[in-house]
Structure 1
Amino acid sequence: MRGQPGRILVVIPSPVFGGAEAQTLQVARGLIALGAEVAVVAEPHVLAAAGPALGAARPLPAALRPPEDLPRDAAMAWQRAGLAPAIAAARPDAALVCCPLPTEGFGALGALAEARIPALAVAHLVRLDWHIAEAERAALPRLTADWATVSEVSARRLEALFGWPPFRVAAIPNGIPPWPAATPARAALGLPEGVPLLAQVGRLDIRKGAQLAPAIGARLQPGQMVLAGDGPLRARLAGASGVLALGPCEDIPALLASVDAFLLASEHEGCPLSVLEAARAGCPILATRAALEAWPEPAEMAWIILREPDHIAATFAQAMADRAATARRVARAQAVAAAWDEAAMIRRTAFLLAAACA
């Protein structure tokens, strides 16, 4: 990997393994393919959940999640101390820090700054209602990392949050690899035949609107809501009338080829991979504007919905009835997914890591 750091420490200070963490390991595997030696440091249960997604990266378990009741300055100190042994073990030339929320990796970034390790922090979700604590704002000038987000919208929002001038934060749009064409496989996936199916793929939590599934399913009957994923609402949703909870799904392309549309009723998002997966699969998309904020002209690639079961069910019916309008949106979404590819995401990250080192 000429001109690039040879040893890279990927830091994932997350409590769970979700979309941001999966995307970070997607980049890590790409950096390995470019010739880097990569170590991934995270909580032991996060590394266990990642499993094969680690690829050839060296796992380094560490205590990076401070107790919930610690004040922010003490929490950052906890995380800083937790990362120090991994820095010593990996001896990295540079670090890539996953920040599902902007300040989740501040302690880790402090440890990297103290060790004089060039770092690139990537923020995945920058909410409009997010505020930075006084202790975090005081720590910010001491963090020497470069910053990026997963969309231009999020980059401008992060600059405002941190009080930085425009265009200090870079954007690395998410991307996915090419997919082979998948064929419908309802029987193999345990899905009912002959009824409309609306699928949600991803973490089952309130932010993504999973709690709406029973009410939506009731309005779709004899159709059903299909939930593929895990999360805090999984037990509550399992067995609900009109809802089929599959749990984590190993074959997302086959699932998306088997359902009639994809739903993402999020109240806020960054650049969700699930939207790109649905677009790549040619599956019609129903989503909130917040879920699609990373993309220009979202109404051209998806049916826009409100976070209301009646509106979602009515829009699904409209999408199924107006096949021409749905086909136009599917074609536009496929073009977007083709342009936002995995290789471009990995190259952009490698370039920014090299720039951080320079």
Structure 2
Amino acid sequence: MNTPSPQAPSPWRLSVAPMLDWTDRHCRVFHRLLTRRTRLYTEMVTTGALIHGDRRRHLDFDAVEHPLALQLGGSEPQDLATSARLALEWGYDEVNLNCGCPSERVQRGAFGACLMAEPQTVAAGVRAMVDAVGGEIPITVKHRIGIDRGESYDFVADFVGTVANAGCEVFIVHARNAWLQGLSPKENRDIPPLRYEFVYRLKRDFPALTIVLNGGVKTDDEIAAHLQQVDGVMVGRQAYHEPWQLAGWDQRFFNEPGPALAGRLAVEEAWIAHLERLHRAGTPWPTAMRHALGLWNGVRGARAWRQFWSDHRIKAEAPQRLLERWRERIPTAAREALAAAT
């Protein structure tokens, strides 16, 4: 008798959140040096920017970034459908609709978290995108558990139920309310209380849907605990500021060897090679380097490394030569400590 094979992990088991000004294509290439299986997301791109702006600038990506999702900001069904078709044509693995951003600028555009008050509008947009891509890639929604001071589970459950009926099968739930007045976007990530139990309950009440939890997750043990309750976990600023944490995710959460087994020095060399290619193509490399400044966090010499690569006086020099200079200047003992760091 054949033994049933274990169920494959959800494609959304682990992901890095879309973060404006942070998760650009260079950040995503860096993250791919650390993890192959973690799902990556673009910064939010508005439908207007895609339809009327520079599409290549907004949509181009490196093949190593897969699996990769495009996050859209918008609410007009026809514009969302057009943008979803572009995502499909460009080769994205998913289109995600932002229904969680609380910023005033986004609210003025009538999208983001304020859309949670209009589930039928979201449903119409999702239906238009599902039809536009013909089922070839999933249409997903990222949202909060509520807006302003309301604390009703029924509110988010009704939202999920309505949007699911339009064809969305994956919901990424930031386990906080979005306060649309009186808080900055940064404060909205910290002040509204986390209510993980709402997200857990969504999974119990909608077992056929893929429910991904987002918000306040920092440690691998926390990720593992949440995965006992939901299908996936999305990590935001923790993943950006402590990137080496990603290096262990493939092994722990997907039972596969990750790309960073050779250690941080090997990742550093691969990253500098990427910067060297940018430099030779005439693209300023410091804007990309900023995403990797946390690589050596927690290791002796990390502060000096960050200071070296952040020095504006070296921004016109070739990254490969700079790496050689950096390694020449650090003491042998420190170099050995870095080589031994995992």
Q: Normalising by structure 1, what TM-score?
A: 0.35
Bigger proportion of residues as helix:
2
Q: Normalising by structure 2, what TM-score?
A: 0.36
